[in-house]
Amino acid sequence: MAKRAGRGRFKLFDSREDRLVEARMHELERIRSALRDGEFVLHYQPRVDMRAGRVIGVEALIRWQHPSLGLLPPAKFLPLAEHDPVIIEIGRRVLSEALDQLQAWLRAGLDLKVSVNVAARQLQWPGFVEDLRLQLLQHPEVHPGRLELEILESAALEDVSGMHDVINACRVMGVDFALDDFGTGYASLSYLKRLPVDVVKIDQTFIRELLDNSEDLAIVEGIVSLARIFRLRVVGEGVETPEHGVMLMRLGCDQAQGYGIARPMPAAEVAGWCRRFQPDPQWSIWADVPWD
Ligand code: C2E
Ligand code: MG
Ligand code: MG
Ligand code: MG
């Protein structure tokens, strides 16, 4: 693109940086219009208690129903959105839609919780707590304890004292907090002590090689005992096979999420999935063995 570069002179090509900035601006503009046009949708992935053999709830996961590119996963657009205030608006929509959906499921007689991922930038927005309070008031049938917010462990560690206050304010309302992708952010014991959370979700990279890698096994064992000391619930993410689930149960982690249990699905499929859900027979081998 020809562009005026100083008086009376034209530059034929922008610098590489100019073009990058321009491409990012264009992408962000597309993200904003997608938000306006309702192109973002939520899919839901079940979380189960293997020992109890029951569904606990679902995690809301955003996708972009792109008119020409199809269904895009968050990795394709969230990293850019997270560097812009637009993430706050996206997050508010996600929360409101997830609460609408939860209210509908509760009315239909399903006993579920919903987990919603929140970006660090959302929690740092000064209006966050008030907005959450209003959204809960608009969903009077949803007990706040049915909502869980997930923040990446790595993001929480960047601003422990700021996060502490906002997490506390949400928990006062009765909302649960989870540290997501736990184990990747190298949280030390003292940090965990300072972050008032209810749940840790073990990152899926540790689960993937749980059966073949003794270091991953040791890390998961460590996280589970840490969780017990702090009286936190612990969830294994990325459970792809019954063996992963059985190993987690052996280590004292009863809650699991993963493709081996269910892939994320559109809201309309959740009720049917819950009705058909059968605990894996292999889980029951461990269900009767106390680990205390
Ligand atoms: P996450 O919160 O850790 O969610 C789990 C991700 O792992 C999801 O990817 C899920 O589809 C995938 N997954 C679940 N089970 C398995 C498995 O057994 N194997 C494998 N390979 N993957 C599995 P997804 O949906 O692409 O989301 C990626 C990340 O994007 C999420 O990771 C979360 O950090 C972020 N995200 C998703 N939705 C939102 C949102 O509404 N707001 C914000 N701020 N972040 C979101
Ligand atoms: Mg999550
Ligand atoms: Mg995770
Ligand atoms: Mg993740």
Mutate to test the pocket of ligand 1, among 44, 61, 65 (most ligand atoms within 8 A of CB): 61
Residue 102 CA to residue 154 CA, distance in Å, equals 28
> Shortest CA distance to 135 belongs to which of 116, 107, 150?
116
Q: What is the pLDDT of residue 240?
A: 96
Q: Is the CB of 94 under 6 A from ligand 1?
A: yes
Q: What is the pLDDT of residue 180?
A: 95
Q: What is the pLDDT of residue 18?
A: 86
- Ligand 1 atom 14 nearest Cα: 258
DSSP assignment, residue 255? Answer: E
Token pair listed for 211? 């059966």
Cα-only R_g, the chain: 21
Token pair listed for 234? 């612990």
Q: What is the pLDDT of residue 288?
A: 66
* 142 neighbors 111 (Cβ within 8 angstroms): no
Widest CA span in the chain: 83
Q: Is the CB of 266 under 6 A from ligand 1?
A: no
Per-residue pLDDT of the chain (292 residues; tens, 9 = 90+): 444 555 556 566 678 888 888 999 999 999 999 999 999 999 999 999 999 999 999 999 999 999 999 999 999 999 999 999 999 999 999 999 999 999 999 999 999 999 999 999 999 999 999 999 999 999 999 999 999 999 999 888 888 889 999 999 999 999 999 999 999 876 667 788 889 999 999 999 999 999 999 999 999 999 999 999 999 999 999 999 999 999 999 999 999 999 999 999 999 999 999 999 999 998 887 766 665 5
Residue 137 CA to residue 141 CA, distance in Å, equals 9
Q: Is the CB of 181 under 6 A from ligand 1?
A: yes
Ligand 2 center–CA 237 separation, angstroms: 9
Q: What is the pLDDT of residue 8?
A: 54
- Ligand 1 atom 37 nearest Cα: 61
Residue 143 CA to residue 145 CA, distance in Å, equals 5
Q: Is the CB of 62 under 6 A from ligand 1?
A: yes
Q: Is the CB of 50 under 6 A from ligand 1?
A: no
Ligand nearest to the CA of 182: 3
> Shortest CA distance to 115 belongs to which of 163, 178, 170?
178
Ligand 2 center–CA 215 separation, angstroms: 24
Token pair listed for 247? 């190993």
* 178 neighbors 151 (Cβ within 8 angstroms): yes
* 241 neighbors 258 (Cβ within 8 angstroms): no
Ligand 3 center–CA 202 separation, angstroms: 7
Residue 209 CA to residue 243 CA, distance in Å, equals 11
Residue 15 CA to residue 11 CA, distance in Å, equals 10
> Shortest CA distance to 287 belongs to which of 248, 239, 238, 230?
248
In this structure, is the dihedral angle defined by the CA atoms of residues 161, 155, 90 and 93, taken in order, positive or negative? Answer: negative
Residue 69 CA to residue 62 CA, distance in Å, equals 16
Whole-prediction pTM? 0.94
Ligand 2 center–CA 117 separation, angstroms: 5
ipTM of the complex: 0.98
- Ligand 1 atom 4 nearest Cα: 61
Ligand 4 center–CA 284 separation, angstroms: 28
Residue 21 CA to residue 1 CA, distance in Å, equals 14
Q: Is the CB of 259 under 6 A from ligand 1?
A: yes
Buried b (16+ CB within 10 A) or exposed e, 88-107: bbbbbebbebbbbbbbebbe
DSSP assignment, residue 44? Answer: E
Q: What is the pLDDT of residue 184?
A: 85
Token pair listed for 172? 């006062």
Ligand 4 center–CA 247 separation, angstroms: 21
Residue 48 CA to residue 257 CA, distance in Å, equals 7
DSSP assignment, residue 281? Answer: T
